[in-house]
Amino acid sequence: MSVETQTLIIQKEQQGCKQPIMVPPMRYYLQRFSYSQLNKQWHELMASGAFPTRESINESLVFMNNAHLNSMYGTWSFGFIPAPPHNEITKRVIGKNGYYFKMTTTVSDVEFIWHDRVTNTFLFWGTTNFKVVKAMNAIRWRIHKVYATPPPPPPRLDSHYEIEDISHDEEEEKEEEESATNNEKVIRDIMEIHSLDRKGAEEKIDEMAKNAVVKHS
């Protein structure tokens, strides 16, 4: 899906609301720091448990590898906003498989958006304050929209038939495929950055994750 298409979806979604959703102004606390400071922050998040699964670690590693390759930017922008206190609302804000986070990342041209469940905070990284603020505004608008819009009713099932629920299995298979794709990208990036073979790249990933937890525990 192109950036133009995603932008159009967001605009239609905002314009399609029966009542305009008014988002109160908020003062953002933004930080600017170097790649080395970004790397230190990532290690601290790793140690705190912000990336609790192997898949989430891989997603963060993809971001950090891209940040390393694009360290020419010099400084990075970081911002955060509180996530909703209600778990179901937060899930709808993020979207299935991170759909709305990924769309906002593309449209706002930020580098990474993450939900830190430890602090229940949405985290944003980008190359400029403008991009980060744009992404934060988009997610804040969506939070208010989700609160203002009731969730769709569950599908009605004919009581005369018993239907085997295989959606969970399908979701697990899809997550496994996405995880495998992310793993392969991380391995290729590590091989390129550190001039390693595949085995060396895999050992490097394990070492980075292990050192991150041990260093800041």
Q: Is residue 141 part of a domain?
A: yes
Instruction: State residue 217's pLDDT score.
Output: 34
24 against 120, higher pLDDT: 120
**Cβ-proximal residues to 125 (8 Å cutoff; 6+ apart), any chain:** 38, 63, 67, 76, 77, 78, 110, 111, 112, 113, 132
Residue 189 lies in a domain: no
3 state DSSP class of 140: helix
What was the pLDDT predicted at 200? 76
> Is this structure's pTM higher than 0.85?
no
State how many domains the chain has: 1
Strands of 31-34's sheet, edge to edge?
31-34, 75-82, 121-126, 112-116
With respect to residue 64, please indicate whether it lies within any of the assigned structural domains.
yes
pLDDT value at position 174?
Answer: 57
Domain of 135, in residue numbers: 26-150
In a domain, 9, yes or no: no
* pLDDT range class, residue 45, cuts 50, 70, 90: very high
Q: Which tens digits make up the pLDDT trace of 159-184?
A: 554 444 545 555 555 555 555 556 66
Digit-coded pLDDT (tens) for 89-148: 999 999 998 999 999 999 999 999 999 999 999 999 999 999 999 999 999 999 999 988
Q: Across all residues in the chain, what is the average pLDDT?
A: 78
Q: What is the pLDDT of residue 9?
A: 46
Q: Are strands 112-116 and 75-82 parallel, antiparallel or unpaired?
A: unpaired
**Within a domain: residue 181?**
no
Report the alpha-carbon distance of residue 142 to residue 102 in Å, rounded.
Answer: 13
Give me the CATH number covering residue 131. 3.30.1370.10
Query: What is residue 153's predicted lDDT score, i.e. its pLDDT?
Result: 76
- For residue 199, being part of any structural domain is answered with no
Task: Identify whether 76 is part of a domain.
Answer: yes
Under DSSP, is residue 158 helix (H, G, I), strand (E, B) or coil? Answer: coil
pLDDT > 90: percent of the chain: 47
Q: What pLDDT is stored for residue 75 in this prediction? A: 87
Q: What is the mean pLDDT of residues 22-42?
A: 88
Query: Average pLDDT of 22-29?
Result: 80
Q: Is residue 5 part of a domain?
A: no
